[in-house]
Amino acid sequence: MRAASVSDYRELARRRLPRIFFEYIDGGSYAEETLRRNVADLEAIALRQRVMKDMSKLDMSIETLGQKLSMPIGLAPVGMAGMYGRRGEVQAARAAAKAGVPFCLSTVGVCSVEEVAGCGTPPWFQLYMLKDRGYMRELLSRAKDLGSPVLVFTVDLPTPGARYRDVRSGFTGASRLEAALTQAWDGITHPGWTWDVFIHGRPHTLGSVVGAVKESRRVTDFLAWIARNFDRSVTWKELDWVRETWDGPIVIKGVLDPEDARDAVKAGAQGLVVSNHGGRQLDGVKSSVSALPRIADAVGDDLEVYMDGGIRSGLDVLKALSLGAKACFVGRAWAYALGAGGEAQVARMLATLKSELAVAMILTGCNSVRQAGPGLLDRD
């Protein structure tokens, strides 16, 4: 199948990836209500079609936090991407650089920040605050010294949400014997993935935190250690500690409430991501897009507002921009594309989003993404 949409990349990834990894990226927490809302609420927003406008010139570029982007899209941090494609974070970072958009590396990426920065463009770096502050300081220093331009501080994961799919697939909760048998079966039934990732994609560690984790062999061992070391005591005062090491822009990721958004302004953040962690944390909360307008109103021009969660097309991007987002970050979309066929498919997916965004702009009479606003939406 030749992929034409994000849903096509999802199907290709489902066929190619072992079940435990596909379910890990595809699933959400509990009954997955929020996961579905993220997509459904975007689908329910109607664009306002306009005609007889001079649309011979389009400008999709934006400037944000000192960077110029070719379009208002970035690749969100995705954990363990190196298990979907050989050295997956590197492949995705190269595709993003060629497209002129940012790639944000997860703390729990298989590839280290050094490996990703070595491909030519230092990534935005996403930080989970763990209990080992000494190692966190060292990690921040590494990212800073490598030239990472933006720190994305994820704040909505003081403890991992329960993901039933991971239990059913054997990704979590399985004994070592059960895990070994599952891995062996996955290798036999997914030979393409086995050759590309399992054999030639090693080491299967969490590259940026490997120095803090002792006596772990499997990527799931690392994730278990990470889960035990999330720090529930983190408050806004933690930004003062972060700034002792990091002097660049800080973006707070995981905001759904206007009061938290105002607190981010008071704490001196330069941006925030309206996000519910892709529906993978607290189930039953608002979709990102439904939370976006009130948050954008609450902070005004005091910081940059981005959004992730449910973006499946360029049309979705324009809808989010119309409701107050400066740019959108996609997570599952690029993970599916990576799982479907590596860097080439990630590049194609980004090109598809750009093409879809262009069509949406032309047919709504929007010459520049910087002009996108509520007037592009049909409220009747």
Res 122: pLDDT: 97
Is 222 contained in some domain? yes
Mean pLDDT across the stretch 59-87?
97
Range of the domain at 52: 6-367
Is 348 contained in some domain? yes
Both tokens of 20, joined, read 């435990």
Is 1 contained in some domain? no
125 DSSP β-pair partners = 105, 151
Is 160 contained in some domain? yes
Res 137: pLDDT: 94
Q: Per residue in 322-337, pLDDT tens?
A: 999 999 999 999 999 9
Per the model's pLDDT, the better-predicted residue between 183 and 290 turns out to be 290
On average, the pLDDT of the chain sits at 94
Both tokens of 367, joined, read 């010459």
Q: How far is CA 236 from CA 153, 239, 266, 267, in A?
A: 11, 6, 9, 6
Q: How confident is the model at residue 171 (pLDDT cuts 50, 70, 90)?
A: confident
The answer to whether 103 and 123 are in contact (CB under 8 A) is: yes
Total structural domains in the chain?
1
Q: Is 277 a catalytic residue?
A: yes
Mean pLDDT across the stretch 45-50?
98
Write the CATH number for 52. Answer: 3.20.20.70
Residue 353 has pLDDT above 80, yes or no: yes
User: Choosing from 190, 200, 204, 277, which is the catalytic residue?
Assistant: 277
Q: How far is CA 40 from CA 22, 59, 80, 164, 296, in A?
A: 21, 28, 27, 21, 21
Is 178 contained in some domain? yes
Is 374 contained in some domain? no
Mean pLDDT across the stretch 202-225?
78
Query: Parallel, antiparallel, or unpaired for β 304-308 and 104-105?
Result: unpaired
Amino acid in position 240: D
Is 186 contained in some domain? yes
Residue indicated by tokens 């001079």: 54
Contacts (Cβ under 8 Å, ≥6 apart) of 352 = 4, 5, 6, 314
Q: How confident is the model at residue 215 (pLDDT cuts 50, 70, 90)?
A: low
Mean pLDDT across the stretch 134-159?
95
pTM over the 0.85 mark: yes
Give the residue among 278, 277, 260 at the shortest CA–CA distance from 269: 260
Residue 274 has pLDDT above 80, yes or no: yes
Mean pLDDT across the stretch 201-206?
92
